[in-house]
């Protein structure tokens, strides 16, 4: 299976969809699945812009069409009735296969997602191309009860969409990166599943996002890893057992 990690730098407006479509067109014949980061359609620090920039699902018809050639996972802010959701969407074979609404909305320090979004309440898995897949969004993975939910789902593949700001620079590297890698390795091992971790890069209102997107195998080894603080779009074949560290 060829997987493309789209470690991009979303802008805080609706122009991201056009850029994402261009990226998909450029790799769709050489990849089976492309994964974009959390809120990649909108940018992260939406705040009151959410009322203008949130999407309705029916605005993503072009992604549905493109998914006839390649599976697509995107993150975005969506209108859901009278509330807004921070969601991950999986498109395949010309249709929306699954939508995961972020369950754990951070509301501390620099984060204020719970002020604007309505939380989801369920973790599900779905079958696509003979693989059982589960999706999570960022903070979801920091909660042990979610790990138990994922174990029960018994996925072959876990897809984590992330928008993690850089913090904790030390002699041991970037503390937040070390913590994230510890978490995703643990989850991959607990679930005996491959895990795709896609984090964004770029700056928004003083926040710098560190990237470091990677693919972890069932043995908790990082098979492939992208650079920190750099926009990168790379495709990997996860059948191959190569290790970045």
Structure confidence at residue 183 (pLDDT): 98
- Any domain includes 245: no
- Any domain includes 40: yes
- Any domain includes 154: yes
When divided into structural domains, the chain yields a total of 1
- Any domain includes 244: no
Q: Residue 197: which CATH number? A: 3.60.110.10
Low-confidence ranges of the chain (pLDDT < 50): 240-245
Range of the domain at 129: 2-237
Cβ 91 vs Cβ 99: under 8 Å:
no
Rounded to whole angstroms, the Cα distance separating 191 from 141 reads 13
- Any domain includes 242: no
- Any domain includes 187: yes
- Any domain includes 243: no
Structure confidence at residue 240 (pLDDT): 47
Structure confidence at residue 97 (pLDDT): 98
């Amino acid at each position: 299976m060829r997987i493309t990690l789209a470690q991009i730098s979303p802008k805080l407006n609706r122009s991201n969809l056009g850029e994402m479509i261009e990226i998909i067109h450029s790799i769709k014949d050489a990849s089976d699945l492309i994964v974009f980061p959390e809120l990649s359609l909108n940018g992260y620090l939406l705040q009151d812009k959410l009322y203008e920039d949130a999407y309705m699902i029916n605005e993503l018809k072009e992604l549905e069409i493109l998914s006839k050639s390649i599976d697509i996972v995107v993150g975005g802010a969506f209108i859901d009735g009278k509330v807004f959701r921070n969601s991950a969407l999986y498109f395949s074979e010309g249709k929306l296969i699954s939508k995961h609404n972020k369950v754990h909305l951070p509301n501390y320090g620099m984060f204020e997602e719970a002020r604007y979004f309505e939380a989801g309440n369920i973790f599900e898995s779905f079958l696509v191309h003979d693989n059982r897949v589960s999706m999570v969004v960022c903070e979801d993975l920091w909660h042990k009860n979610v790990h138990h939910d994922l174990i029960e789902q018994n996925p072959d593949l876990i897809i984590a969409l992330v928008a993690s700001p850089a913090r904790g620079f030390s002699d041991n590297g970037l503390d937040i990166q070390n913590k994230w890698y510890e978490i995703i390795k643990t989850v991959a091992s607990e679930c005996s599943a491959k895990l795709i971790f896609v984090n964004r890069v770029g700056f928004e209102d003083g926040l710098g996002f560190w990237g470091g997107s990677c693919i972890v195998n069932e043995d908790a080894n990082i098979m492939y890893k992208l650079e920190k603080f750099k926009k990168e779009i790379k495709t990997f074949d996860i059948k191959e057992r190569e290790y970045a560290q």
